């Protein structure tokens, strides 16, 4: 079974600073990988996804993530954080042989200082 | 496109009553929908996978008689929390499988259930 670990429960960065949110997964083959963002009391919005091909994927809102097979990681990055980026971020893995069932990491809450 | 809508967004009910939450794919047909539960400040836990026209597949530890799932059409899945108790209070989120074989899920806005 697949699993996802987001080591950082909370992260605080200053507005304009760079951001990296960590995600490690466990899966026997190449998984589908996703990053979602959730604002308080809201559903989830897809930021980006990796299925195959280029290991550096670009997403919405200026986010990008890099799939590193050797490290079983899919870290999310943004060069300059905006106050509106404050939210909960979830990394998720989907098994290629299990339909579209996703397993989510525990989430990282991002706070942005002015 | 690919909008998933949940209703109601908020519901408060008395202990012992049943509550139905609807999940609709507004502009596409969803063969498969997933129901997640999210406790405050925690991640999403998959409750069940709902396939149109067949019985839902429940995850281990989820009571199928407690959480009734019906997926009677390609655009509607419902979750009924039967005989709700305060410990059932949670944020319930549905998602629908992409019909374009992109492998992604489209999520509803979530429904917050509070059982008094």
Residues of B in Cβ contact (< 8 Å) with A41: 91, 110, 112
- The answer to whether A45 contacts chain B (CB < 8 Å) is yes
At residue A111, does pLDDT exceed 90? yes
In this complex, do A106 and B103 lie within 8 Å of one another by their Cβ atoms?
no
What is the full DSSP assignment across B35-97? EEEE-TTS-EEEEEEEETTSPPEEPTT--TTTEEEEEEETTEEEEEE-S--GGG-EEEEEEEE
Residues A64-81 have a mean pLDDT of: 96
Residues of B in Cβ contact (< 8 Å) with A99: 32, 49, 97
What is the full DSSP assignment across A64-101? EEEEEGGGTEEEEEESS--GGG-EEEEEEEE-TTBTB-
* Averaged pLDDT of chain A: 91
* Res A99: pLDDT: 59
Q: Nearest CB to A44: which of B98, B107, B112? A: B107
Q: Nearest CB to A100: which of B91, B103, B110? A: B103
* Res B83: pLDDT: 96
* Res B43: pLDDT: 87
pLDDT in tens, A3-38: 899 999 999 999 999 999 999 999 877 788 999 999
In this complex, do B107 and A100 lie within 8 Å of one another by their Cβ atoms?
no
Cα distances (angstroms) measured from residue A53 to each of A37, A66, A87, B60, B87: 23, 11, 29, 34, 44
* Res B101: pLDDT: 66
In this complex, do B104 and A104 lie within 8 Å of one another by their Cβ atoms?
no
Q: Cβ(A85)–Cβ(A68) under 8 Å?
A: no
Q: Nearest CB to B104: which of A49, A99, A109? A: A49
At residue A65, does pLDDT exceed 70? yes
């Amino acid at each position: 079974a697949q699993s996802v670990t987001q080591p950082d429960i909370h992260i605080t960065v200053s507005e304009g600073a760079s951001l990296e949110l960590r995600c490690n997964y466990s899966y026997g083959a190449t998984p589908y990988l996703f990053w979602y963002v959730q604002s308080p009391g809201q559903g989830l919005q897809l930021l980006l996804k990796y299925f195959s091909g280029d290991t550096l994927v670009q997403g919405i809102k200026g986010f990008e993530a890099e799939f590193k097979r050797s490290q079983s990681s899919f870290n999310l990055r943004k060069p300059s954080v905006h106050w509106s980026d404050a939210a909960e971020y979830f990394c998720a893995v989907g098994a290629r042989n299990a339909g579209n069932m996703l397993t989510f990491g525990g989430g990282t809450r991002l706070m942005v200082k002015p | 496109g690919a909008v998933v809508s949940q209703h109601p967004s908020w519901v408060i009910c008395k202990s012992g009553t049943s509550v139905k939450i609807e999940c609709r794919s507004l502009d596409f047909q969803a063969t498969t929908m997933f129901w997640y539960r999210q406790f405050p400040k925690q991640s999403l836990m998959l409750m069940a996978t709902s396939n149109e026209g067949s019985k839902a597949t429940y995850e281990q530890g989820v009571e199928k008689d407690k959480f009734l799932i019906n997926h009677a059409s390609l655009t509607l899945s419902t979750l009924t929390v039967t005989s709700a108790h305060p410990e059932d209070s949670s944020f319930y989120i549905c998602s629908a499988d992409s019909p374009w074989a992109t492998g992604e899920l489209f999520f509803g806005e979530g429904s917050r259930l509070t059982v008094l």
